[in-house]
Amino acid sequence: MILAGGEAAALLLERREQVDALARVGLGKLDFDIGAELERPYALAWVAREDADVIGFLLGWQVADELHVLDVVVAERARRRGVGRALVDAAMTDAVARSLRVALLEVRRANVAARTLYRAAGFVAVRLRPGYYDDPVDDAVEMAKELAAGALVEFERLIED
């Protein structure tokens, strides 16, 4: 079951230990504290729940008319069952309902699972940041998905002379 908004945030806080354990495999180099993350007024959360357990979550930031996907993490035991895709799809649906126009994220080039998931969900690679990550060193692939038709083309227009 996928929860969004306040319901998702409440479950993340309530199941903090499970969330910390999940966060250790995700969130790259962010110093993760779910309470602090959720206090940000622009933070958005989606949670996959199975019985009493948090088996996955997606954290995002709403920045102007953009959704920044910070991370998606699914418990190892629950992977390849469509949970990650369901979280991404739920976040995209909510973002459209909020009139956001584009979703953005960055992912390690070596993270084939995540890149494949994002591509399947409609994201396209728009830029490469060589050596962006460390420990281990990796390139960042920036990916974007249009939520409103033409939103990515508008970026192009903004920088035209």
Ligand X SMILES: CC(C)(COP(=O)(O)OP(=O)(O)OC[C@H]1O[C@@H](n2cnc3c(N)ncnc32)[C@H](O)[C@@H]1OP(=O)(O)O)[C@@H](O)C(=O)NCCC(=O)NCCS
Binding site for ligand X (CB under 6 A): 25-26, 71-74, 79-85, 107, 111-114, 116-117, 120
Nearest to 21 by CA among 80, 61, 78, 67: 78
Structure-token match 């949970």, residue found? 83
What interhelical angle do 83-97 and 112-120 show, nearest 10? 50
Closer to ligand X at the Cβ: 43 or 148? 43
Residue 62 Cβ vs ligand X, minimum distance, rounded to whole Å: 18
Nearest distance from residue 156's CB to ligand X, in Å?
25
Q: State the nearest-atom distance from the C-beta of 44 to ligand X, in Å.
A: 16
Q: Give least dist CB 29 to ligand X, A.
A: 12
Q: Nearer Cβ to ligand X, position 81 or 148?
A: 81
> Which H or E run contains 20?
helix 16-23
Question: CA torsion sign, 71 to 76 to 80 to 82?
Answer: negative
Using only C-alpha atoms, the chain has a radius of gyration, in whole angstroms, of: 16
* C-beta closer to ligand X: residue 85 or 148: 85
Residue closer to ligand X (CB basis): 83 or 144: 83
Tell me the closest approach of the beta carbon of residue 2 to ligand X, in angstroms: 12
Nearer to ligand X, 9 or 121 (CB): 121
Burial classification of residue 120, based on how many CB atoms lie within 10 Å of its CB (0-12 exposed, 13-18 middle, 19 or more buried): exposed
Residue nearest to ligand X (CB): 84
